[in-house]
Amino acid sequence: MQVTKNRNPNMNQNMRMTRQRRVILEELKKLDSHPNAEEIYEAVRESLPRISLGTVYRNLEVLSELGKIQKLEMGGTQKRFDWDTRKHYHIRCINCDRVDNAPLGFMKNVEQALYGATDFTITDHRLEFLGLCPLCMEKAIERDSLGKTAGKVA
């Protein structure tokens, strides 16, 4: 019994909302996008000039364990963070990696639809939409029209 109790005596100490964590959370809310750790680090440095990227990263992990933020597991190269902890879907630009919320309600019923169809007990699901953001779409159209003009000339 005692072993279980004392397994992690520093747990409360490590898991509390420190000033650093409060600043990180505030900056994440201000960014209102889905920034990666480096982007959050750049924003946080204005209030905490001596903080390191490693510290920001560790604090983001703790905040996510505390359920204060959401760590996004999605395609793309870098881990991103979301101040909105409600379940929601995202849409990602395949060209520049911009991530927006997808304006679509969370579909719990797709999990029910799988009930009995597999041996698994479904506990959660992830859905990520991919596309081109308006800026990248514009560039693609520009490139396309240039290509066509060049084609006609040739």
Cα 57–chain centre separation: 13
Choose between 22 and 98: whose C-beta lies nearer to Zn ion: 98
How does DSSP classify residue 100? E
Binds Zn ion by CB under 5 A, chosen from 35, 80, 82, 83: 82
- Token digits for 105? 């309600």
Applying CB under 5 A, does 101 fall inside the site for Zn ion?
yes
| Residue (45 or 98) nearer to Zn ion, CB | 98
Q: How far is the CB of 73 from Zn ion (least distance, A)?
A: 12
Least distance from Zn ion to the Cβ atom of residue 141, Å: 13
Q: For the packed helices 53-65 and 19-31, what is the interaxial angle rounded to 10 degrees?
A: 90
Number of residues this chain uses to bind Zn ion (CB under 5 A): 8
Site membership for Zn ion, residue 95 (CB under 5 A)? yes
Could you give the string, one character per residue 117-146, with x where binding to Zn ion holds by CB under 5 A and - elsewhere?
----------------x--x----------
Q: Are 34 and 78 in contact (CB under 8 A)?
A: no
Strands 99-101 and 90-93: antiparallel
| Alpha-carbon gap, residue 43 to 31, rounded angstroms | 8
Question: At its nearest, how many Å lie between Zn ion and the CB of residue 51?
Answer: 24
Q: Is 93 in the site for Zn ion (CB under 5 A)?
A: yes
Nearest to 85 by CA among 104, 63, 56, 112: 63
Please state, in angstroms and rounded to a whole number, the distance separating the CA atoms of residues 94 and 41: 24
* Cα distance between residue 67 and residue 20, in whole Å: 16
What x/- string results for residues 31 through 70 when contact with Zn ion is judged by CB under 5 A? ----------------------------------------
User: Which spans of this chain sit near Zn ion (rule: CB under 5 A)?
Assistant: 82, 93, 95-96, 98, 101, 133, 136
